[in-house]
Chain A
């Protein structure tokens, strides 16, 4: 599904250039669950942004489903993104002014799904995530675990082929964290590809493969399953 080769990304300030990704290469197959680990500043988040088509690489190749997407413009990336990729963030990034239902509904609005169908799909996913009873609440009224479940629900409502999770349990206690991990496993077992950035060895063990990074490069790769 994903092939990256010699991927490069630099950050420039007025005086210095920082290398965030240094000729990074790896593949991810459809249905895989990959964990990416490494210390702060090793380039994990940059990688995730590029994989999520939120950012452009400065060099190298990025094939998504067999198509080179490295040079895509914003409109094309947005199109590809909204139909294929779901995001889960460490800090949930729910919109405070929208209710649980409306937050989850958002991706469907942007892909042009009709209201009646949207309602059906949102309710189905809320049911699945067991937060249906909270559908009319605002994010601030929920616990961290509940908020992340809403965020996951939002990520999957469009039935994306790929879910990118950036430390999805980083802001949660272990009970809530485990619940979220179970959700991701379920999704993966149903066929969704998952790439997860994490600091937690515990969470990483849920994956099939762990890629360890340092200074923008791949250091090791452990296959777990």
Chain B
């Protein structure tokens, strides 16, 4: 019997080729996108799940209590050792510090100079907590002694080729020499923690003299239970703070974040050395998108099937007359649907393999084809197949098989009028979803455009930043400045600790004669920084020339936000003493207008440039070019750099490119939403096309009658299209407020954002009306030009 059903199903697919192709194609697109999104979601959710102690490991978060509350992923160095001492549940704790507080390390292996992004100063317990697997040499114990280094397998290959790295030496930033003591397995792609090289934290000044001030240390703690009483532990953390700091000095609190939540729930936190942060909101958006697309595809299928129901109904009538039971017919329809969804599934799998490389680029991951064959994905496929079959097969199975044979065989009975309401409803749902997606794509694009064109308060174009972290002496730095300044295309060169988009020091600035403080970014810079960044000077003057070593006078150039916090007018502020933790002898020399030194997600904070006499702390040379950055000049720089500072590697970046990095997630989201919205709209159009065919078929007799009594072709086309236009208009009523609500919420994540304009809705509606007209128009014209005698012929 079942074999017979398959035979019928297969033949019916073959005889209705156009419908079958549309049907299977639409469904397979839906399934392919769902599959890819599921694969991505699965990957994102798999972060850090490979660690044996994953449920017991927590990261300590710091919450600032000053104005503009923030959460940081880093805490002061003094906290780490206190954790195991004062918290009974804490088994292990450890700190990590990226070299140069998040910068590159310059590695010298024999005469080779290499740049290393992932060199970390680490407590040995970290390796134990995260089960770092050693491939050769010793592991955690190497970090108990100074000048030992552990390398990952691929890094060891990069440094030493095929030679055995054990026992070899290398130097870091021309300051320390290390001996390779062990090689560990590379961290997997889905690990938040990722080290290429690990050196002992105990060598750091911050380990020898831990402080409660500088919060730059990512700190992890392992507890003895996976269901700890976090409230009690946080109280303990507070008592640790109380024991070490006066109440009025306290500017933060601590809390614990489970390891498994780090990847997806940290994108709003600043200051972390972990990479590859995902975003739970993105996952939620994508999940919603996947569900919407699958629903659209299923609705399609149902509409396509009902488009043929009139013919099928006759089939049901004949079968019932010949003795088929309702049950048998239900089974038959499910078999048919199951067959179609199975074909669509295979095709969808094939599509997803085709799209995977481009998808990887969009989401910035390296998902592999092989992972499509994992148990999770296969069970997901089976489940999706079942759900899709049940959802989309139920209408034909349960509705059509209920007909009595007499009713089903009657040539002009009104089968389907009752359900036309539901069907129309489905189209409205489908189109509302498509319109929401179109609006979303438009808003995301406009916001990105806004960000890219927003006046940032400084000019990031034509400026490069050359890293000088590995050049400790001021004289070499100065030699470089002089050499670079002589190049004809260069307008200005300055040394600076950091620059907008790059990290600088985080201090606190206090109101005059008060304990009320606010976080402030402090940047040690040379006098011409204002001209290099093209900042707007509101009052006072540029930073004076450098101080001599030992000069305690510090001059400070503050931004408008800091000025407003202090409560001065620009002119008043000049010459005032200020406490920004830069020494007791700091005075304001000038005020610059606000500029966006970090992403537009965040409002502008307080920022100061200063000229403290600590000459070693310049990390960059900022170079402004006259007319565009010439790559020849940059390669000349490289040669000059190698001549003057042979022990350091030449590393540079463009500030405007760094800015783009801030909006990578949004760009990614924009591309993903564009791709899938286009697909969703295509699938929805296929459904509309089929529904138009169905309606034309159902109204065949009416069209015939109207034509016989004189209706022209345009009149008939109008009649049929108008029906759909009405549905589309209803979907506007539903989708516009929904889209507005969703996208307005999305925009709130940006401190600086566009307002959703009416034009967005106008474009979306025009677009959908045009699409509808073309999709429906074809069927309408086809129905209108058909010869009416065919539909009016009596049986």
Q: Which residues of A contact B (CB under 8 A)?
A: 45, 49, 52, 54-55, 74-75, 78, 81-82, 87, 89-91, 93-97, 106-107, 110-111, 154, 166-167, 170
Contacts and interface: CB of A to CB of B under 8 A. Distances in A.
Contacts of B787: 54-55
Contacts, number: 55
Interface in B662-712: 701-702, 704-712
A82 B792 contact: no
A121 to B, nearest CB: 14
A93 B792 contact: yes
A135 B708 CA distance: 22
B789 A54 contact: yes
Contact of A54 (B412, B702, B712, B788): B788
A148 B709 CA distance: 16
A81 B794 contact: no
B17 interface: no
B712 A93 contact: no
Contacts of A78: 707, 710, 712
Contacts of B412: 91
B705 A93 contact: yes
A101 B383 CA distance: 54
A167 B795 CA distance: 12
B468 to A, nearest CB: 81
Contacts of A87: 708-709
10 contacts: A45-B793, A49-B789, A89-B792, A93-B701, A95-B706, A96-B702, A97-B702, A106-B709, A110-B712, A167-B794
B177 to A, nearest CB: 89
A91 B713 CA distance: 24
B538 to A, nearest CB: 73
Contacts of A166: 794
A94 B705 CA distance: 7
A45 B789 CA distance: 10
Q: Specify which of B708, B789, B792 lies most central, judged by the most chain A CB atoms within 10 Å of its CB.
A: B708
Contacts of B133: none
Q: Specify which of B414, B702, B710, B794 lies most central, judged by the most chain A CB atoms within 10 Å of its CB.
A: B710
B794 A89 contact: yes
Nearest to A55: B789
Interface of B: 412, 414, 701-702, 704-713, 715, 785, 787-789, 792-794
A81 B712 CA distance: 11
Contacts of B713: 74
Given A45-B793, A49-B789, A93 B710 contact: no
Contact of B708 (A74, A81, A90, A167): A81
Contact of B709 (A75, A90, A107): A107
A107 B708 CA distance: 9
B789 A106 contact: no
Nearest to B788: A54
A52 B704 CA distance: 13
A110 B709 contact: yes
Which 6 residue pairs of A and B lie closest in terms of their CB atoms, listed nearest first?
A82-B710, A110-B710, A107-B709, A54-B789, A95-B702, A49-B789
A110 B711 contact: yes
B705 A95 contact: yes
Contacts of B708: 52, 54, 81, 87, 93
A148 to B, nearest CB: 13
Given A54-B789, A55-B787, A93-B704, A154 B794 contact: no
Given A54-B787, A107-B710, A91 B705 contact: no
Contacts of A81: 708, 710
Nearest to B411: A91
A96 B705 CA distance: 11
Given A106-B706, A107-B710, 9 more contacts: A49-B789, A81-B708, A87-B708, A93-B704, A93-B708, A94-B705, A96-B414, A110-B711, A167-B794
A75 B705 contact: no
B789 A110 contact: no
B453 to A, nearest CB: 54
Contacts of A52: 708
Contacts of B705: 93-95, 106
Contacts of A94: 705
Contacts of B712: 75, 78, 110
Contacts of B706: 95, 106, 110
A95 B791 CA distance: 13
A82 B785 CA distance: 17
Nearest to A103: B705
Nearest to A90: B794
A145 B414 CA distance: 20
Contacts of A97: 702
B712 to A, nearest CB: 6
Q: Specify which of B709, B787, B788, B792 lies most central, judged by the most chain A CB atoms within 10 Å of its CB.
A: B709
Contacts of A45: 793
A82 B794 contact: no
Nearest to A46: B789
B702 A110 contact: no
A89 B708 CA distance: 11
B794 to A, nearest CB: 5
A200 to B, nearest CB: 15
Contacts of A75: 712
Contacts of A74: 713, 785
Contacts of B707: 78
A42 to B, nearest CB: 15
B710 A111 contact: yes
Nearest to A157: B709
A154 B713 CA distance: 21
A107 B792 CA distance: 17
Contacts of A89: 792, 794
A72 B39 CA distance: 62
A154 B702 contact: no
Contacts of B704: 93
Contacts of A55: 787, 789
Contacts of A90: 794
B704 to A, nearest CB: 7
A111 B711 CA distance: 9
B561 to A, nearest CB: 67
A45 B712 CA distance: 23
Given A90-B794, A91-B794, A93-B701, A154 B709 contact: yes
Contacts of A106: 705-706, 709
A80 B55 CA distance: 85
B716 to A, nearest CB: 11
A45 B414 CA distance: 25
A95 B706 CA distance: 9
Contacts of A107: 709-710
A49 B706 CA distance: 15
Nearest to A98: B702
Contacts of A96: 414, 702
A45 B788 CA distance: 13
A96 B410 CA distance: 15
Contacts of B793: 45
A90 B709 CA distance: 16
Contacts of A93: 701, 704-705, 708, 792
B52 to A, nearest CB: 69
Given A110-B715, A166-B794, A82 B789 contact: no
B98 to A, nearest CB: 73
Q: Specify which of A45, A74, A95, A97 lies most central, judged by the most chain B CB atoms within 10 Å of its CB.
A: A95
Contacts of B710: 78, 81-82, 107, 110-111
A15 to B, nearest CB: 18
Nearest to B785: A74
A45 B794 CA distance: 10
A49 B789 CA distance: 7
A94 B702 CA distance: 8
Contacts of A170: 794
A54 B713 CA distance: 14
A142 to B, nearest CB: 15
B717 to A, nearest CB: 14
A184 B712 CA distance: 28
